[in-house]
Amino acid sequence: MEFVVEEGKLVNEDCSTLVLPALSIGNVGQLAVDLLVSSTGAERVGYLDDPNLLPCVGNDAYGPLPCGEIALPLEVYESSSIATTLAQQRSPVAKGMMIKFAENIANFAASSGKKHIIVLSSLDFQRLHNLDMSRGPQVYYLSNAESDGRDDHCERLGFGRLHEYDSEGRCWKYLSSVFEKNSVEELALPSEDELEDIDYYPSLPFAALFSAFKARGLKMTCLLCYCSEGDNIPEAFLLAEASSKLMGLTPDKFHGEGGKWQIPYSWKSMYGAPPDMSMF
Amino acid sequence: MEDVLTENPPPSRFFQEDLNNFVPPPESIPSPFILFSNPKPELPLRPSLLIIAISSPSLYVSHNLPSKTLLGSLIMPEVPFSGNTIEPSLEDKSCNIYSLSSTDDKNSILLVSVQLPVSPERSNLVSRLLIGQDIIPERVIILDSIQSRNFRGRLSPDETLAAKLETSAEKKATSHLVNLDYFPSGSVIDGLSASLLSRCQLKNIRGTLVISWPEFGPSVIKFIGALLKKIVPSLDVASVNKDLEKNSSRTGLKKDTWLDSDLYT
């Protein structure tokens, strides 16, 4: 993975927090990062070029007008006012290459001096066994602060620990062994037939990213929410707000009009063209 | 009409296996490479303009341009040669590299006709070969079709449309190769043309991707011919407009050709 600085831009080495999405149901992590980039006025400083990422290009996703600024598959933005780097991923990872991709991006984060990584991801609502709607939509977390995934700061913020995380579970152990270079234990990749329900969580991209960053010794927090496919804008707001709280920020500290969340321009056409009314 | 139960999901939706860390990596395939004609030109080639034709209409125009010299071919080991002819043909699965230049300005305008299927997974390797290694262009024009699956607006089958995306280097230049509206925000282009334009952006090369609609037909062929004539005034496009009725049907249409069966040639 190569980091290419955009012509005329400088990287701010004080941006020690990296926020990035994990591919997940409803693209919630990516929508949340869109919202953060748009609302913080973060500026694009470069691109990450990785051979495991499928190609895509588009017009600028954030400006009020489609100004023709090219958008690439994996872009790096910085907001100096909140000392945060945001990476936005617009295309999938090639099938079977997620582990390699996670390793590459963890190497990038470590070599560029990042201290805290926040990964935003969604989980399939159909996998949620204990539904408790009394507290409203719930944000869950997974941290490497303690071996069971617990983190005091996240607990104080009211996030729910992901109880399905089991560091001794075979798939979680497999991920750890893959990324830790000094791992003595050689574990086999679980075959598709052997996978059970509990293996759903470590099979997801956020788990690969979590394990890869953890192996590099970086402080790591995954923020998660359950959702179904559909209009996932509410979930994007949920995760964007949660990550802001985790960083000790509120929208009034963002750059922007009145300190409010700014909807990215590209969201206007997220669900395609309006129906053809001429048929009625 | 496509079957709503079995058709591909909209591009923002994932199949389970797309999100599975434990899907094994694909089997390794030998890398693509470029084979140059004899005598081998001096490398790297440094054309002032590299034109890369990917869409069916642009391939038709490229094929019918006279006075082009075959310099070489990009070979993809996974694409069989069976069914290809000795003389270049529109039906070949090939990726030929031509010079369009006059003898006194050798190799300053190169044309690549991408007639073989390049999967998204292999696009990165192909785009690195065409831009930045043996070929280092000053400017690049890529010609592809709007992909209806990725377009967030309405596309009428009988309306010719075109738009562009360009690199930052091209955007801030004082004169532009192509005068078209920008591709609308919210829609994306994927595949080889996206990989090629990305490579131009990463290498700070002046690059433009022209995406046109419909995917075939006389109107869009005429548009592409006229566009190329405007970019390269010395190009002879007169023979392009002959026999255009042959292209009013779906014959010769490139569509998801990496799914083609190798049983039939």
pLDDT, one tens digit per residue, over A16-26 is: 999 999 999 89
**B252 touches B216 (CB < 8 A):** yes
What are the chain A neighbours of B201 within 8 Å (beta carbons)? 47, 70, 72
pLDDT of residue A152: 95
Query: A92-122 in b/e burial notation, b at 16+ Cβ within 10 A?
Result: bbbbbbbbbbbbbbbebbbeeebebbbbbbb
Q: Which of A4, A51, A190 sits opposite B202 (nearest CB)?
A: A4
* Dihedral sign from CA coordinates of A121, A125, A126, A130: positive
Backbone angles phi, psi at B170, to 5 degrees: -70, -40
**Which residues lie below 8 Å from residue B27, measured CB to CB, with a gap of 6+?**
none
What are the chain B neighbours of A56 within 8 Å (beta carbons)? 188-190, 194
The tokens for B220 are: 């869009």
Cross-chain Cβ contact A56/B194 below 8 Å: yes
A196 lies within 8 A of chain B by CB: no
Higher pLDDT, B152 or A100: A100
Interfacial A residues in 149-168 facing B (CB < 8 Å): none
What are the chain B neighbours of A99 within 8 Å (beta carbons)? 21
Q: How far is the CA of B215 from the CAs of A104, A182, B141, B187, in angstroms?
A: 37, 53, 18, 17
The ranges assigned to domains in chain A are 15-252
The tokens for A139 are: 């944000």
Cross-chain Cβ contact A7/B168 below 8 Å: yes
Cross-chain Cβ contact B185/A63 below 8 Å: yes
A198 lies within 8 A of chain B by CB: no
pLDDT of residue A150: 95
Cross-chain Cβ contact B167/A70 below 8 Å: yes
Across chain B, mean pLDDT equals: 84
Most B CBs within 10 Å, among A9, A28, A56, to test the B interface? A56
The tokens for A56 are: 């895509």
The tokens for B13 are: 């939706």
Residue B63: pLDDT over 50: yes
Give how far A208 is from chain B: nearest CA, Å: 7
Task: Report the pLDDT averaged over residues B55-77.
Answer: 92
State the pairing for strand pair A84-89/A17-21: parallel
Cross-chain Cβ contact B21/A56 below 8 Å: no
Give the ranges where chain A is alpha helix by DSSP (H).
Answer: 28-40, 98-111, 152-156, 170-179, 200-203, 205-215, 233-246
Residue B52 identity (one-letter amino acid): I
Q: Where do we find the tokens 């009428």? A: B156
Give how far A248 is from chain B: nearest CA, Å: 31
ipTM of the complex: 0.88
State the Cα–Cα distance between residues A80 and A74, nearest whole angstrom: 20
Cross-chain Cβ contact A94/B24 below 8 Å: no
Residue of B nearest to A67 (CA): B182
3-state helix/strand/coil string of B134-182 = CECCCEEEEEEECCHHHCCCCCCCCCCEEEEEECHHHHCCCCCCCCCCE
Q: Where do we find the tokens 């496009």? A: B237
The tokens for A209 are: 């990213």
The tokens for A279 are: 């048929």
> Cα B9 to chain center, whole Å?
25
Cross-chain Cβ contact B190/A96 below 8 Å: no
Q: How confident is the model at residue B256 (pLDDT cuts 50, 70, 90)?
A: very low
* pLDDT 10s digits, A236-246: 999 999 999 99
Q: How confident is the model at residue B175 (pLDDT cuts 50, 70, 90)?
A: confident
Most A CBs within 10 Å, among B15, B16, B21, to test the A interface? B21
Task: Report the pLDDT averaged over residues B1-11.
Answer: 49
pTM score, whole prediction = 0.89
What are the chain A neighbours of B20 within 8 Å (beta carbons)? 98, 203-204
Q: Which of B18, B197, B204 sits opposite A57 (nearest CB)?
A: B197
At the topology level of CATH, where does A15-252 sit?
Answer: Rossmann fold (3.40.50)
